[in-house]
Structure 1
């Protein structure tokens, strides 16, 4: 049975490699269900795909040092920027496709956690426009 373990995901936001800060990345895509059932459907529901959308969820280990994560992400608040994610930091290929598109940076959590916790921040950004998959 084929399987894989994620050991070195690649995460880039606005052209900046943030892999060293990121410990979880999830890209989800979906299509709206549109009900086109008619009396001719013989009692069975018929569906067609509507608008597509996606979401990029990330968990970072926070760093507020000069030129670090917080200073990279804070200025992006409210903007639409590009992203790229891959299952591995190795070169893009048939066994390591890249997923690219744009996301709306609709929030940033500069401080998150409790006493004794690692300084981390979790964010989730909606895609804006098409998400593409490429192997070259």
Structure 2
């Protein structure tokens, strides 16, 4: 059985490669379950999928230098921007699909931590519209 260790995932927001600032990545998609059970269901619940949604969660190492992470993310706060994520930074293909869509940049934590801590943060952005998967 193949196994994989995440070593060089690719993360792009609004067309900017943020992989060098990112230490965690999770793209989660789900669909609401809608109950369509009838008397003809013979006592069993019947479900169909309803509205789909997703969430992109990232862990960032902060950098406030000019043209670095904070300067890139701060202007995006409150806007919907495109994203692309891949398991590796290699070319997109059947062994490295890309997932794309749009996310709402609903939060940003410019400063967090205690004395001696690495300046880092976890963020979660809801998707807006469809999430796609492509191998080309």
TM-score by length of 2: 0.98
1:2, distance to aligned residue in structure 2 (A): 1.3
Q: Find the aligned partners of 1:113 and 1:53 in 2 and give their Cα distance.
A: 31
Other-structure match for 1:35: 35
Q: Flag as ranges the 4+ runs of structure 1 deviating above 3 A.
A: none
Q: What is the CA RMSD across the aligned residues, in angstroms?
A: 0.6
What residue in structure 2 maps to residue 124 of structure 1? 124
Q: Which runs of no fewer than 5 residues in structure 1 stay unpaired?
A: none
Residue number in structure 2 paired with 1:84: 84
State yes or no: 1:100 paired with 2:100: yes
2:46 alignment partner in structure 1: 46
- Distance across 2 between alignment mates of 1:47 and 1:3: 33
Give the deviation of 1:101 after TM superposition.
0.2
TM-fit CA distance, 1:92? 0.3
Give me the TM-score of the superposition, normalised by structure 1: 0.98
Give the gaps of 5 or more residues in structure 2. none
The residue that corresponds to 1:67 in the other structure is 67
Shift of 1:112: 1.5
Bigger mean CA deviation after superposition, 83-92 or 110-119: 110-119
Q: Greater shift after overlay, 104-113 or 7-16?
A: 104-113
